[in-house]
Structure 1
């Protein structure tokens, strides 16, 4: 019985640990043009950019310290922001939705590939309002809206 219970716990943990597929769009626009479009799309929604993480720069800067050779991204940034109105709405519906805030949109370009922009998907229910917001911002950033 203990073995059966332990196997169930391990299987459940493995399922939770699997990363969800990101929602992504690719574009022939330059990285800088996509960043410019993203910043404007966020501001056009009346939102404030809380933080920009320069993930690509960090990975490139530290690869020598880690004895790594591969350049993962030519460039990669992650934009973090929140919406007071929508955050309040989704957290009033379920206070555990706090785990999803701030919301992030990434822009990345792998060597020899097109620029990619996207975000992590959200669970069904109230958080789909946030997913719709992010999708609109991303589409606006690359001229799909």
Structure 2
């Protein structure tokens, strides 16, 4: 990734963070929102926000369960999450437009929306996504993902 693309990615993440009052986490390309609602409600709202836009969820991952199940196997002693899930999906229409502009943008598909409640902050549920670098049709994806997490964080 060129310095210009990294800079554009950072600017896009900051712009989405400002517009959605999102907190940046994990890296400058991750956009998150927090909710005081129950984890199950936020996860269901995220799923509904995806499906209600006409997108099929390709995979619903239960990463929190996997980490709990494998903790002893890897010698882990720290609980990371009370719960954590993610949803992968794609849009044939939007993805095609993105990839027609740059075939290398296949790297961003499928799109992922994640939801977690960290063990260190019970009662605070985080929902988010990794934003695509700013520009062209990728902006459409970032807007779509931003709307989905906004709905999930408070839309029920």
Structure 1 residue 99 and structure 2 residue 107: aligned? yes
Cα deviation, residue 142, structure 1: 2.3
Cα deviation, residue 124, structure 1: 1.3
Task: Report 1:105-144 matches (<5 A).
Answer: 105-113=113-121, 114-126=124-136, 127-143=138-154
Gaps of 5+ in 2: 7-25
Which of 66, 70, 78 lines up with 1:62 in the alignment? 70
Distance in structure 2 (CA, Å) of the matches to 1:29 and 1:80: 22
8 Å CA contact 2:83–2:117 kept in 1: the answer is yes
Distance in structure 1 (CA, Å) of the matches to 2:65 and 2:85: 8
TM-score, with length taken from structure 2: 0.78
TM-score, with length taken from structure 1: 0.83
Cα deviation, residue 38, structure 1: 0.9
Instruction: Give every structure 1 segment of 4 or more consecutive aligned residues whose post-TM-superposition deviation is greater than 3 Å.
Output: 18-21
The answer for the alignment partner of 2:82 in structure 1 is: 74
Q: Report the count of equivalent residues.
A: 130
Pick the structure with greater CA Rg: 1
Distance in structure 2 (CA, Å) of the matches to 1:50 and 1:88: 17
